[in-house]
């Protein structure tokens, strides 16, 4: 078990496109364990491997109130999007302190592999649908602030760079 460092926007590595997992083996299961521990510790409701600088299609999610219902998605794909949309105020462990409204499909269908490498499918709506779409964007190298206006994004980038510089100074 290990907590993994989370990349923070505007780190260019967050824009890496993840590759499919070739085999769901012990290395991937260890990654899943570490990612789940990192997500719960943060705390957050979702984490994509991209955010811990591993560029393979692995996501962990837990939108339950008690944080005791871990969903692991390996090589996930969204196979259907509803025409209906919903707007949610999103945040991201890679963009600390920033929350803003993003419009996404209200319902989706998802196909993925579990930690045993077995395929499964599910239907998602509400927060889970938001979270899956947000995390799958990470695997494509996309951070939610890219849905915001260029002006907002520039402000966020400037603010986070400043925060990161101050944190570095304190660490020295």
Residues that bind Ni ion (CB under 5 A): 92
C-alpha 86/C-alpha 115 separation (Å) is 30
Q: How far is the CB of 36 from Ni ion (least distance, A)?
A: 15
Alpha carbons 45 and 36: distance in angstroms, whole number:
10
**Minimum CB distance to Ni ion smaller for 39 or for 92:** 92
Q: Which of 107, 135, 146, 166 is catalytic?
A: 135
Cβ neighbours of residue 47 closer than 8 Å, sequence gap 6 or more: 6, 35, 36, 38, 39, 59, 60, 61, 93, 135
Handedness of CA 145, 148, 152, 154 (dihedral sign): positive
Compare residues 25 and 41 and give the one whose CB is closer to Ni ion.
41
Q: Has 134 been labeled as part of a binding site? A: yes
Q: Which residue is nearest to Ni ion (CB)?
A: 92
How far apart are CB 111 and Ni ion at their closest, in Å? 21
**Which is nearer to Ni ion, 11 or 117 (by Cβ)?**
11
Q: Using CB atoms within 10 A of its CB, is residue 29 exposed (0-12), middle (13-18) or buried (19+)?
A: middle
Is residue 131 marked as binding? Answer: no
Nearer to Ni ion, 91 or 117 (CB): 91
Residues 6+ positions from 136 with CB-CB distance below 8 Å? 48, 59, 76, 78
Phi, psi of 111 (to 5 degrees): -125, 140
Q: Least distance to Ni ion from the beta carbon of 23, Å?
A: 26
CB 118 to Ni ion: min, Å: 26
66 flagged as catalytic:
no
Bind-site residues: 92, 134, 138
Active site residues: 135
Numbered residues of the known binding site for Fe cation: 92, 134, 138
């Amino acid at each position: 078990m290990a907590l993994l460092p989370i990349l923070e926007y505007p780190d260019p590595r967050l824009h890496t496109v993840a590759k499919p997992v070739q085999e769901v083996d012990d290395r991937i299961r260890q990654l899943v364990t570490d990612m789940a521990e990192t997500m719960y510790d943060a705390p957050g409701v979702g984490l994509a491997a991209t955010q811990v600088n591993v560029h393979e299609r692995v996501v962990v999610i837990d939108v339950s109130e008690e944080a005791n219902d871990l969903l692991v998605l390996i090589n996930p794909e969204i196979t259907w999007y509803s025409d209906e949309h919903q707007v949610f105020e999103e945040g991201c462990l890679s963009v600390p302190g920033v929350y803003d409204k993003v419009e996404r499909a209200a319902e989706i269908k998802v196909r993925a592999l579990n930690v045993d490498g077995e395929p499964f499918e599910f239907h998602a709506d509400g927060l889970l649908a938001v979270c899956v779409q947000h995390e799958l964007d990470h695997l494509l190298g996309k951070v939610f602030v890219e849905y915001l206006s260029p002006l907002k994004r520039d402000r966020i980038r400037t603010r986070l760079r400043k925060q990161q510089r101050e944190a570095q100074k304190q660490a020295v």
